[in-house]
Amino acid sequence: MDKIIMTKLDEEIYHEVLENGLDVYLYKKEGFAKKGAYFVTKYGSATNDFKPIGEDKIVSFPKGIAHFLEHKLFESEDNERVFEKFKTNGASVNAYTNHFITNYFFKTIDNFEECLNELLNFVQSPYFTDENVEKEKGIINQEINMTDDNIQRYIFEKMFDLALNENPNKYKTIGDKENVSKITKEDLYKCYNTFYHPSNMVLVMYGDVDVLKTFDLIRKNQASKKFENPEEIEVKEFNEEDEVCTKYLEVKRNVSTPRVSICYKFKEKKRTGVDRFKRNLFYNVLLDMKFGGTSSFEKDLVKDCVIKTGLSLNYSYFDDVALIIFEADALDKEKFIELIDKKLREDNFDESIFELDRKALLTSMVKCFENPSDFANVILNSVAKHGKVINNAYDIYENYKFEEFKESFKWLNFDNKSVLYVEGKEE
């Protein structure tokens, strides 16, 4: 076991890579009652084309299968309900799948060790049958219907579809009914055996727990199970074009006020580690300066009757692509598009505003240590996205210079964008 010291923050993370390859982290925080753990596989909905373990060619799997697999791991061979086991221990358990990872997690105040054992055991005990797979398809289809009725989620996912060409982040995490209908028990085992090997997984724990006792529990749990030797995972690579897939689309949905969403697409070089972390910092500072608390832009849009209420802003960065998505109830569609575009292209940056936003982001980063579960999330996302814990994050924020920011801005191309116009259905 070693320690990762967070520079200038007087915080430390206990870390060990087990013999089977499992990457384990513990953020001990004394005096906090809540404890928990995240058990993560670096496998999400964007990974559908890969070479299954033991096979010699890349196979295309149904879209949505990572999310389907997440559902099925809560079902056990002995018919004992995983949720009930955690509830008996005074804990809650859940999971989610996004484009990049699948995360199984629990939180509790008591019985941390029992819950940790249970988390490791149910995730590492797949049980798929033809019958339970077919039964799950109906449940997933109901969930698809519900997400289709959620207008915010529909617009967000639709913007990925409009902006991306080949990149698999284009597709919805949950999949669609046609793809879900194709999923088989054999498919699930192939995906599980490829991506749920401990060497492709991360365990992050937090709270006021006994460090030595906890790591000993994990070692014993993993030593009691048999895993094949890890193989290198081969995933199909996609060459994403600079241009968006679809520049403009109009659709009719159940909305009282027309909605407009604009997605700007920026082609990036593939970055890892600190380089990727710093690129994220650039985009965060950029969006804070233009649309954050120091800007009156959103209030002006409402005051001038360009939008009805607030402005929604989302930012995603993956592979070699960054997407910035705006959405609002638009009273004047063309003016909204024009003003967003104008605001993004402005390069008359104020260094004093840059410093305010940089310091605000630094403060926000430091504050996440106040909540152990928040910082555990930072750890798992850092390892999943950057390949390691960025332990000098404070220095990176503190030393980020205005000139470096302005130089990065010069390379952005604002000509590649998709627009979605959502009208209400006629009665």
User: How would DSSP label each residue in 192-253?
Assistant: HHHH-SGGGEEEEEEES--HHHHHHHHHHHHHTS--PPP----B------SS-S-SEEEEEE
d(CA 399, CA 380) in angstroms, rounded, equals 24
Rg (CA), the chain: 23
* pLDDT of the chain, 427 residues: tens digit per residue: 899 999 988 889 999 999 999 999 999 999 899 999 999 999 999 999 999 998 999 999 999 999 999 999 998 776 668 899 999 999 999 999 999 999 999 999 999 999 999 999 999 999 999 999 999 999 999 999 888 888 999 999 999 999 999 999 999 999 999 999 999 999 999 999 999 999 999 999 999 999 999 999 999 999 999 998 888 999 999 989 999 999 999 999 988 899 999 999 999 888 888 999 999 999 999 999 999 877 899 999 999 999 998 899 999 998 899 999 999 999 999 999 999 999 999 999 999 999 999 999 999 988 888 899 999 999 999 999 888 999 999 999 999 999 999 999 999 999 999 999 999 876 5
pLDDT value, residue 80: 67
Kind and range of the H or E element at 9? none
What's the whole-model pTM score? 0.93
Q: Which of 35, 420, 405, 397 is nearest to 214 (CA)?
A: 35
pLDDT value, residue 136: 93
pLDDT value, residue 163: 97
The amino acid present at 10, given as its one-letter code, is: D
d(CA 49, CA 3) in angstroms, rounded, equals 37
For residue 97, is it left (φ>0), alpha (ψ between -120 and 50) or beta? beta
Query: Looking at 70, 75, 240, 327, which residue is catalytic?
Result: 70
Name beta bridge partners: 261: 327, 420
Largest CA distance in the chain: 66
Residue 108 backbone dihedrals phi, psi, to 5 degrees: -160, 170
Structure tokens at 100: 């990049």
Q: Which of 5, 70, 6 is nearest to 366 (CA)?
A: 6
Angle at which helices 273-291 and 372-386 pack, to 10 degrees?
A: 120
Classified as helix, coil or strand, 175 is coil
SS3 string, 303-344, reads: HCCCECCCCEEEEEEECCEEEEEEEEEECCHHHHHHHHHHHH
Assess whether 70 carries a catalytic annotation: yes
Residues 6+ apart with CB under 8 A from 258: 329, 330, 333, 421, 422, 423, 424
Q: Please name the residue that has the structure tokens 């970055």.
A: 271
The amino acid present at 219, given as its one-letter code, is: R
